[in-house]
Amino acid sequence: MTTGMDRLAAAVTGGSSDRIPVFCNLLDQGARELGMPLREYYASGEHVAEAQLRMREKYGYDNVWSLFYVGKEAELLGPARIAFATDGPPNVEAFPLTTVEDIPCLVVPTDLRSHPAFEEPLRCLQILRREVGGRYPICAYITASMTLPAILLGMESWMELLLNGPTPLRDELLTKCSDFFRVEIAAYRDAGADILLYSNPFGSTDFLPMKLIEELSLPWMVRDLEPGGVAGVVYYCGSSRLNAVIPKVLARTGIAAYYLSPLDDLVEARRLVGDKVVLAGVINDIPLIGWPPECVREEVRRIVAAGMLGGRFLFGTLVMPLAIPEHNIRALLEAAFEFGRRDGGGGR
Amino acid sequence: MLEEILTSYYAAIVDTDRSRALAVVHDAVAHGASPEEIVFHVVVPAIERTMQTISEAGDVNLAQHFMGSQIGAQVVEEMIPLFSTKPEMAGRIVLGTAAGDFHGLGKRIVAGCLKARMIDVLDLGLNVPAERFVDEAVAAGAQVIGISSMMVHTATSEHGARKVRHILRERKLEARLRIIVGGAAYRWDHDLYKTVEADAWAENGILAGEVVGALIREVLP
């Protein structure tokens, strides 16, 4: 039987398999799957792992996630207060750094394996590795040094510090965030994560002018990735566009996989990078809350048709809000499986 | 002369260079430009030029938005007390993030853009309950309630814009108060504002100035 790892390997090498890889990020849906509130669900790595395994089995997509919620990284770096909702992802209510004056006091852990806030993600990874390791890619979400300050200080304060300085304090924070990134990516690799989604909205021209990306984002990306290399690393800018930066990121870092924004033109992306890198075509999944299934199917067909023209392609989702009804999750995935077939799928 | 000042000011905004933008303004005032000229012939046209760039090239980034709005607001706040006659403000808005939403950057950008257009802004902060939106709007004599949501569930929640609409209806305030929504959730689904029963939405701070201005004109006698 063809596994998700087989499909991914075929996409990476340009080899053959039954269909393109289909990556789906159902996260909060895990709580519903286990019939428990989100707060209780996210308190346990066993819960997250069990739900990830169940949902992958139920829907048949090709990956599992070790990600709990994005604010989890803030908890690894200080006393963050997380607000849990009943109908959507947790978010950071109180940041680990209250003001920029706290930056000198920020302590970067040197080993996450013994960190209390990493215990449950580690437990989740161990279960995923035991159950599906080598058969289905295990994904981890790691925030780049240029973006991590947004969940340590808040977006407003980070934007102020980034653009207005003081520069020494900005660089001290970036150095600490980059040091943390290196520790974190090593911990995820050691624990068995195969795909390391390198999240960096501050490396998109939707966030910063190209001049700042060249002067700041790219050098910090090089520093983040230098010790461990780029194996398994996928460049991702949240929902922000990548096309304008892909050639520069590729040249400076060697990252060979890019998880596009729904706003990026897939054909243009392929033209920019040639046939050597993997591109993920990503659907804007927020309208799936209200679309009829035939619209979902048509949008998937459009993306897959554009992506399969260039090879080395996978289909992916963006945020998959909890409010998307079950029938649209199924419509999305069934369309991706069907149109992504190598034997005459291709969105035709 | 004003055209040159505008060109230099706009270039500083594009480069996200606050000190250069402020230096352009202060230098212009020192050389005889009036505070009124700075606001109406430099700050407001710079916003309009940004809007034109967005519509033609789709090419203004978050940093430029942020800096442009903050600098514009700062300049307007600095210039207004220096006006030869007290200016008439265009109207008033109360602004905050929806209940359960702690993402304030978008709201701050919008506030800056609105202030730069001579609209009074009462910033209610983050995680604002629906009742407070309405109470503060009534107390402040505002014409518009602005609700920002970065996350889909805080946009569609029963505790956010929908509840504000419910309270306005219940208290028979709909004729004198409009609801505008904005934030990432709405940028990914342009019909979402209808689902949450808002009167309008705006994709960014620059456009919010236009839309809020129109809503104010609907309500003001």
Helices (H) and strands (E) in chain A, counts: 15, 10
pLDDT digits (tens, 9 = 90+) for A322-331: 999 999 999 9
Contacts of A95 (CB under 8 A, 6+ apart): A74, A80, A151, A152, A153, A154
Give the gap in angstroms from C-alpha B18 to the nearest C-alpha of chain A.
Answer: 7
The pLDDT value given to residue A35: 97
CA neighbor of B70 nearest in space, from B114, B24, B26: B114
Q: Nearest by CB to B67, from A163, A206, A289: name it.
A: A163
The pLDDT value given to residue A346: 54
The pLDDT value given to residue B204: 87
Instruction: Tell me the pLDDT of chain B (221 aa) as tens digits.
Output: 889 999 999 999 988 899 999 999 999 999 999 999 999 999 989 988 887 777 666 677 899 889 989 999 999 999 999 998 888 889 999 999 999 999 999 999 999 999 988 999 999 999 999 999 999 999 999 999 999 999 999 999 999 999 999 999 999 999 999 999 999 999 999 999 999 999 999 998 888 999 999 999 999 87
Contacts of B1 (CB under 8 A, 6+ apart): B33
Cα-Cα-Cα-Cα torsion A198, A200, A205, A206, nearest 10 degrees, comes to 120
Nearest CA in chain B to A153: B103
CA B208, distance to chain mean position in Å, is 5
Give the gap in angstroms from C-alpha B61 to the nearest C-alpha of chain A.
Answer: 5
Q: Tell me the percentage of chain A whose pLDDT exceeds 70.
A: 99
Q: How many residues does chain A have?
A: 348
The pLDDT value given to residue B47: 84
Q: What's the mean per-residue pLDDT of chain A?
A: 95
Question: At CB < 8 Å, which residues of chain B contact A?
Answer: 14-16, 18, 61-64, 66-67, 100-105, 108, 127, 151-154, 156-157, 184-185, 188-189, 191-192, 195
Domains defined along chain B, listed by start: 2-82 (1.10.1240), 91-219 (3.40.50.280)
The pLDDT value given to residue B55: 64
Residue A276 has pLDDT above 90, yes or no: no
The pLDDT value given to residue A67: 96
Q: Does domain A4-339 have CATH number 3.60.20.10?
A: no
> Domain-by-domain residue ranges, chain A?
4-339
Would the pTM of this model clear 0.80, i.e. be above it? yes
The pLDDT value given to residue A39: 96
Cβ of B156 within 8 Å of Cβ of A323? The answer is yes
The pLDDT value given to residue A79: 87
Pairs across A and B, CB distance < 8 A: 86
Q: A314 with A23: CB under 8 angstroms?
A: yes
Give the gap in angstroms from C-alpha B221 to the nearest C-alpha of chain A.
Answer: 37
Give the gap in angstroms from C-alpha A320 to the nearest C-alpha of chain B.
Answer: 10
Suggest the residue from A29, A87, A240 to mutate for an interface test with chain B (most B CBs closer than 10 A).
A87
Pair of tokens at residue A97: 């750094």
Nearest CA in chain B to A157: B105
Interface check for A93 against chain B (CB to CB < 8 A): the answer is yes
Cβ of B63 within 8 Å of Cβ of A159? The answer is yes
The pLDDT value given to residue A311: 86
The pLDDT value given to residue A178: 98
Question: Which ipTM was obtained for this model?
Answer: 0.89
- Distance from C-alpha of B166 to C-alpha of B163, rounded to nearest angstrom: 5
